[in-house]
Amino acid sequence: MSEMRTLGEFIVEKQTDFPHASGELSSLLASIRLAAKIVNREINKAGLVDITGAVGTENIQGEDQQKLDVYANEKFKAALEARDQVCGVASEEEDEAIIFNKELNKNAKYVVLMDPLDGSTNIDVNVSVGTIFSIYHRVSPIGTTPTAEDFLQPGHKQVAAGYVIYGSSTMLVYTTGNGVNGFTYDPSLGTFCLSHENMMIPEDGRIYSINEGNYIRFPTGVKKYIKYCQENVPEDNRPYTSRYIGSLVADFHRNLLKGGIYLYPSTLSHPQGKLRLLYECNPMAFLMEQAGGIATDGINRILDLDPQELHQRVPFFVGSKNMVTKLQEFLEAHKDN
């Protein structure tokens, strides 16, 4: 059996793969690791303490904030501010970007964008949830106050991205543009250990993940693709299997391991889509491309989109190369419908 490598050891080992390696990114990822362990602890005792349910307030998207949304948001902000590598954070739970005003933070090179607890409404029913994070080099001069431009960068400029999935086991999966690696949390040691090295999504899959309850509101191309997935064509391994959890991290993680496609199209009620470009789509697209898959809004590569606002929404299609390519054929054929 090969020697077990911890997340900390792996980050240090791979530092030279990162073009701006100076130890700062390692420290930043250690902050995320620490916050994830704290949040994991609270999630695992969510049924025992008064931390489930809604707070009674809404976030900027008009969604009810869950108690654990607020808790995770505060813990990740605190961990990122404490290490002095981050000058500011943008969160799905905050109206505006949060600027860290300590003198050392002003000299930091990085900004972080995050969804601190994706799928948080699933906590009450013991379904997997996650944290999504995205790291960029700031574009404003070091030593100055960060600007909106630091946060509104296209996804192809990410220097690192990843997610933590809190499920039957807790895993942290991340990339710095040199492949995707996954680490499983060992609670007996309090350590994330390398368990999934150089993760690659199969080029083909048999799983499609979409909320079919909204079928009547989908664009024609998406409806046609769903019917294609359901056709009985044994020689083409169809019909495919429908699997939808309603937690992006959980659906993405399953498809990454087994092969599949995740779809969140525009609908009549959300003509621009519902998922956030900066907090969800960009980091997941970076991971997926590094794992050999494709991420698109149906027309454009997600990582090439030019963000216009912090909470911008986009349609999102991500997964196995051949499955997304087939979907794009249907979208192109019915683009006017």
Q: Is there a contact between 57 and 65 (Cβ–Cβ < 8 Å)?
A: yes
Q: What are the angstrom distances between the C-alpha of 126 and each of 43, 119, 129, 285?
A: 9, 11, 9, 27
User: What pLDDT sits at residue 119?
Assistant: 84
If you count them, how many residues does the chain have?
337
Q: Specify binding-site residues.
A: 92, 115, 117-118, 211, 244, 262-264, 274, 280
User: What pLDDT sits at residue 53?
Assistant: 46
Q: Specify binding-site residues for Mg(2+).
A: 92, 115, 117-118, 280
Task: For the chain, give percent helix, strand, coil, nearest 5.
Answer: 35, 25, 35
User: What pLDDT sits at residue 48?
Assistant: 45
DSSP-assigned beta bridge partners for residue 98: 89
Fold of 207-333: D-Maltodextrin-Binding Protein; domain 2 (3.40.190)
- Please name the residue that has the structure tokens 């989908």: 218
- Please name the residue that has the structure tokens 């900390």: 8
User: What pLDDT sits at residue 282?
Assistant: 98
Question: Helices (DSSP H) in the chain: which residue ranges?
Answer: 7-13, 24-44, 67-82, 103-106, 148-151, 220-230, 248-258, 282-290, 321-333
* C-alpha R_g of the chain: 19
| 15 secondary structure, DSSP code | G
Q: Is there a contact between 320 and 259 (Cβ–Cβ < 8 Å)?
A: yes
User: What pLDDT sits at residue 223?
Assistant: 98
7-196 under CATH 3.30.540.10, yes or no: yes
Q: Is the dihedral of CA 308, 310, 316, 321 positive or negative?
A: positive
| Residue boundaries of the structural domains of the chain | 7-196, 207-333
Tens place of pLDDT for every residue, the chain, 337 residues?
Answer: 457 899 988 988 887 766 555 678 888 999 999 999 999 988 887 554 444 445 445 555 655 667 888 899 999 999 999 988 999 999 999 999 999 987 778 889 999 999 999 987 777 777 889 999 999 999 999 999 999 999 999 999 999 999 999 988 999 999 999 999 999 999 999 999 999 999 999 999 999 999 999 999 999 999 999 999 999 999 999 999 999 999 999 999 999 999 999 999 999 889 999 999 999 999 999 999 999 999 999 999 999 999 999 999 999 999 999 999 999 999 999 987 7
Amino acid at 63: E
Contacts of 268 (CB under 8 A, 6+ apart): 217
User: What pLDDT sits at residue 54?
Assistant: 53
**pTM score > 0.75 for this model?**
yes
| CA angle centred on 315, ends 309 and 321, rounded to 5° | 125
Q: Specify binding-site residues for substrate.
A: 211, 244, 262-264, 274
Could you tell me which of 282, 277, 283 has the C-alpha nearest to residue 311? Answer: 277
**Distance between CA atoms of residues 300 and 85, nearest Å:** 32
